[in-house]
Amino acid sequence: MQATYDIHRSYEENYQEGPFITERPPARSPVSKQTFLGFSVHSLLGVPAGPLLNANWILAYADLGFDLLVYKTVRTVATPSHPNPNCMFLNVYQPLVETDFGHPLMASMTPPTSKEMISITNSFGMPSRDPKLWQADIAKAKAGLVSRGEGQVLIVSTVGTPGQGDLAADYAKAATLAVEAGADMIEINLSCPNVVTGEGSVYTDPVFSAQISQTVKKAIGTVPLIIKIGYITNPLTLAEMVRANAPHVDAISGINTLSFEVVNSNGTSALPGRLRSGVCGAAIRQCSMNQAGRIIQLKQKEKYDFAVIGVGGVMTTSHIREYQNLGVDAVMSATGAMWNPWLAYDWALASAAS
């Protein structure tokens, strides 16, 4: 079962040599443009931060028909990836629910027989090139998208790094550098289960997350700002987080991965040195849809003015439709788009037939 990201290779090998695509779908037929945060786009389907490691990955997925393209999270300082292995399949074939939290999951290198059932664990630690390198690469990605014509947007995911002074200011610095390089939109990553420092759990703190959002928005001005959040079990905390951030953001994207203890068949950590890691793919779809639905309800009740991006477990065109039926403004697929690069093409066909 081939994927664009080779889990048997290191992060660096995938960065330098990927994506591993042997076939591309036919060019899609002209479609009526839609609008997302003020930009005219071919579709409201994209790839979230994670799989799109650099300009080569951005442009490859643009050619595959994904139109909202999120450049993998960058920092103001060069940061290495966690060591290989970084990604494994999970022996999980049903939706994870909150009663599963706190129980370990089992991983292996053996994929399920169906792409629709793929769930993975991953742990990279939000690696980043030096800003001078990623700024040049973002400029390359932007130029490549411009050459393809209107209809696709470059979103750059950024994060602050502890130890670089005020964390909110470092978030803003990273975002400003990304805008200077050519980002159409900025996403600030407030959620990552694969780092042990504070930037990975900011989304659980309504006050501090809003401070970061406000600081970044002030720095980037009219450039649309998206926040990426993780799963919040307490509805009151979710409501507080949304309320605090709503005045400063143009969109809320979620979820990131779910955090679980992941083990081998012998009970040891599946990813050496990392007891917990992120879980994504088919298994998290129900949790992600539940949270997206809650945010939409809050938005409608309080009349908030931001878009909602549904992310998590989107493996098929029917899953895209399920998210749309919730009322999200856009949908993104990571694991699904990695193991089915033709997902956007399939969605274009399904949309034309509906």
Residues assigned a catalytic role: 192
Residues 251 and 308: their CA atoms lie apart, in Å, by 6
DSSP for 215-282 reads HHHHHHTTS-EEEEE---S-HHHHHHHHHHHTTT-SEEEE--PEEEEEE-TTSSBSBTTBSEEEEEEG
Residues 209 and 222: their CA atoms lie apart, in Å, by 20
Q: Which residues contact 320 (CB under 8 A, 6 or more apart)?
A: 45, 314, 331, 333, 347
Strand pairing class (251-254; 258-263): unpaired
Q: Which of 126, 122, 131 is nearest to 178 (CA)?
A: 131
**Cis amide leading into 19 (omega within 30):** yes
Residue type, 212: I
Residues 72 and 51: their CA atoms lie apart, in Å, by 7
Handedness of CA 297, 299, 300, 306 (dihedral sign): negative
Do 285 and 127 form a contact (C-beta atoms < 8 A)? Answer: no
